[in-house]
């Protein structure tokens, strides 16, 4: 992720060992490994981040694990691991930290035969993520470069409208989980007037930090980890990362904590926001693949922590889970569909709020015919007649 060990990866690619390698990536933020030799077996945690770029250029095995399960396979020694490459940071006292993200790296390092570390002078030290003394590092190198980041892009009119719809549903004192991208940023920009917000999220970016600096986020009403933003990684430009360095209100934790459903479901007013590629008329969500012009699935997303956060929000006291997406793609294709063209990342039974620029569909307690009508109402007006006709043909209404 944002602590991807790019210097070590580039050295590996440059020297290209003659033996075939099996390389497992996390959520890639840089496309470096797209240049890996074809006899290397690459596996990734979905095609999120720049993983879709890698998958478009070479063979990439795609895991169907959730984000926390990716850590568990190493913690439980279910996947073999010989060598682990990590990117770390160092504070003024010389102590090492996990850098800008946690992920599965530490769990893998505990099982590895060899741990190779680059220590990046530009990476932040997040409280709660100090490298443990009982995990040996066999060799380390000093580096200095801005950790990789993903461009969120500017929010358009649709994203801003979605943000306003969502903001109206979020009460003061809610605890937020959001992903990265223009849509989460649009929501967070609409929350400047809120107060006593909290954070328990896999990612933490600039838009969320602005709310912390303004006082909208103070974590004062969190019934778990009161006073603290619990996060799994920080994502953004170098000047923002510098602001997160040893910030007293930020605590970086492992996926076993940030994505644990049993832990999250105890958080009052937990609000989870995630996006999707398409949603069908029953509320099933595809966040993984789109169909290309040849009728083949093309993976551009992944499972990640979506099922974990969505399920936890459904169980949390006064919790809400929102799936937000513009009603149409940039090529004017409806993203509200009668049936999914790709995999079902979330089942219809896990649907709560589905949001487009045209409104909010409340799905949690709705019947089949009610779901269809709610989803049609938030589709683009030009797509509604066809969606109704398809629903009638199937027999849903």
pLDDT in tens, 133-185: 999 999 999 999 988 777 666 788 999 999 999 999 999 999 999 987 788 88
Q: 333-366 pLDDT, tens per residue? A: 999 999 999 999 999 999 999 999 999 999 999 9
Non-local (6+) Cβ contacts of 75 within 8 A are 107, 110, 111, 256
CATH of 157-394, one of 1.25.40.10, 3.40.50.460, 3.30.830.10, 3.40.1080.20: 3.40.1080.20
Tell me how far apart the alpha carbons of residues 167 and 190 are, in angstroms, rounded to a whole number. Answer: 6
Question: Which parts of the chain register pLDDT below 70?
Answer: 1-2, 151-153
**Rg for the chain, CA atoms, rounded:** 21
CATH architecture of 6-143: 3-Layer(aba) Sandwich (3.40)
- Give pLDDT, residue 1: 58
What DSSP state is assigned to residue 61?
E
Q: Whole-model pTM? A: 0.94
Angle formed by the axes of helices 157-167 and 182-189, nearest 10°:
50
- Give pLDDT, residue 16: 81
Whether the CB-CB separation of 135 and 106 falls below 8 Å is answered with yes
Tell me how far apart the alpha carbons of residues 30 and 50 are, in angstroms, rounded to a whole number. Answer: 6
Helix H or strand E segment including 139 = strand 139-143
Q: In the chain, what are the domain boundaries?
A: 6-143, 157-394
Do the strands 278-280 and 336-337 form a parallel or antiparallel pair, or are they unpaired?
Answer: parallel
H-type helices in 99-179, by residue range? 105-111, 157-167
- Give pLDDT, residue 336: 98
Asked if domains 6-143 and 157-394 share a fold, the reply is yes
Pick from 388, 367, 364, 365: which is nearest to 376 by CA?
388
Q: Which burial class, exposed, middle or buried, applies to 70 when counting CB atoms under 10 A from its CB (0-12, 13-18, 19+)?
A: buried
């Amino acid at each position: 992720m944002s602590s991807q060990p790019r210097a070590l990866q580039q050295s590996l690619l440059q020297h290209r060992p003659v033996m075939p390698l099996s390389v497992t990536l996390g959520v890639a933020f840089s496309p470096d490994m797209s240049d890996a030799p074809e006899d290397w077996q690459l596996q990734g945690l979905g095609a999120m981040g720049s993983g879709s770029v890698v998958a478009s250029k070479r063979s990439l095995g795609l895991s169907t694990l959730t984000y926390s399960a990716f850590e568990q396979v190493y913690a439980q020694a279910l996947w073999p691991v010989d060598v682990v490459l990590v990117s770390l940071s160092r504070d003024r006292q010389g102590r090492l930290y996990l850098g800008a993200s946690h992920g599965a790296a530490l769990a893998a390092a505990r099982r590895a035969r060899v741990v190779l570390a680059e220590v990046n002078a530009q990476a932040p030290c997040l409280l709660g993520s100090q490298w443990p003394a009982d995990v040996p590092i066999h060799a380390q190198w000093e580096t200095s470069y801005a950790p990789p980041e993903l461009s969120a892009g500017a929010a358009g009119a649709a994203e801003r409208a979605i943000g306003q719809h969502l903001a109206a549903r979020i009460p003061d004192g809610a605890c937020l989980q959001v992903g990265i991208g223009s849509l989460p940023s649009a929501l967070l920009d609409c929350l400047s007037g809120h107060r006593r917000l909290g954070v328990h999220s896999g990612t933490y970016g600039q838009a969320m930090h602005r709310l912390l600096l303004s006082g909208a986020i103070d974590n004062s009403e969190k019934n778990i980890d009161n006073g603290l933003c619990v996060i799994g990684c920080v994502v953004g430009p170098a000047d923002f990362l510098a602001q997160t360095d040893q910030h007293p209100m930020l605590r970086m934790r492992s996926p076993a904590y940030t994505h644990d459903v049993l832990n999250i479901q105890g958080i009052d007013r937990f609000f989870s926001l995630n996006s999707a590629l398409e949603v069908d008329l029953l509320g099933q969500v595809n966040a993984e693949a789109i169909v290309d012009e040849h009728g083949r699935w093309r993976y551009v997303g992944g499972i990640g922590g979506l099922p974990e956060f969505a399920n936890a929000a459904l169980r949390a006291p006064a919790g809400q889970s929102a799936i937000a997406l513009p009603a149409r793609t940039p090529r004017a294709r409806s993203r509200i569909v009668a049936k999914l063209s790709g995999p079902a990342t979330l089942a219809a039974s896990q649907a709560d709020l589905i949001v487009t620029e045209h409104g909010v569909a409340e799905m949690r307690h709705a019947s089949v015919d009610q779901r269809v009508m709610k989803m049609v109402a938030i589709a683009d007006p030009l797509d509604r007649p066809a969606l109704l006709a398809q629903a009638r043909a199937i027999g849903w209404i």
